[in-house]
């Protein structure tokens, strides 16, 4: 069976992260693989099956009129965190797709923001929905937002 795009992302992370300039190259690869997510220039800090830490820097183009990070930029980071955590934990014959999300904004987000997510997805041939949470924290460790995504998990469909 062909390797899924997410398993390719995980394989590339494992191959590149230890090489000089490898993380930079990986982040370029991720931005091309998922162009909209690339708009926030995310940095993968940690990635292993079912567990991820991703961050984004505070930049003027990501700010709102309140001079804090825009809600959609934070949502994008939360979706990336849950997506990498979920799909990296799936067996090669399964797939996941987000079907909904919610986000609670706790305080204004400024500075570098890191999203942390751990997802345990049971291996099963049955289609099902799984809610996965990511906490978004600022540099002082304060939670700025809580993101929840509903992922539809099921068997991979033939190409």
* pLDDT range class, residue 1, cuts 50, 70, 90: very low
pTM for this predicted structure: 0.89
**Domain boundaries in the chain?**
5-155
**pLDDT value at 14 more than 80:** yes
CA distances from 3 to 31, 40, 56, 84, 152 (A): 19, 27, 28, 15, 19
CATH architecture of residue range(s) 5-155: Roll (3.10)
Q: Cα(56)–Cα(72) distance, rounded to whole angstroms?
A: 13
- What pLDDT is attached to residue 80? 95
- What pLDDT is attached to residue 34? 84
**pLDDT value at 3 more than 60:** no
**pLDDT value at 2 more than 70:** no
- pLDDT for 107-128, tens place per residue? 999 999 999 999 988 777 688 9
Residue 1's Cβ-count burial label (10 Å; 0-12, 13-18, 19+) is exposed
- pLDDT for 40-98, tens place per residue? 999 999 999 999 999 999 999 999 999 999 999 999 999 999 999 998 888 878 888 99
- What pLDDT is attached to residue 44? 94
- pLDDT for 138-149, tens place per residue? 999 999 999 999
């Amino acid at each position: 069976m062909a390797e899924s795009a997410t398993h390719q992302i995980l394989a590339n992370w494992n191959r590149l992260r230890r090489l000089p300039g490898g993380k930079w190259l990986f982040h370029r690869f991720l931005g091309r693989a998922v162009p909209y997510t690339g708009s926030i220039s995310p940095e993968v800090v940690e990635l292993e099956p079912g567990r991820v830490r991703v961050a984004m820097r505070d930049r003027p183009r990501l700010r709102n009129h309140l001079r804090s990070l825009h809600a959609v930029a934070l949502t994008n980071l939360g979706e990336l965190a849950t997506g990498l955590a979920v799909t990296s934990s799936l067996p090669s014959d399964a797939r996941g797709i987000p079907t909904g999300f919610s986000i609670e904004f706790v305080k204004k987000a400024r500075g570098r923001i890191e999203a942390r997510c751990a997802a345990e997805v049971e291996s099963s041939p049955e289609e099902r929905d799984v809610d996965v949470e990511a906490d978004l924290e600022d540099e002082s460790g304060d939670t700025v937002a809580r993101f929840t995504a509903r992922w539809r998990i099921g068997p991979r469909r033939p190409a």
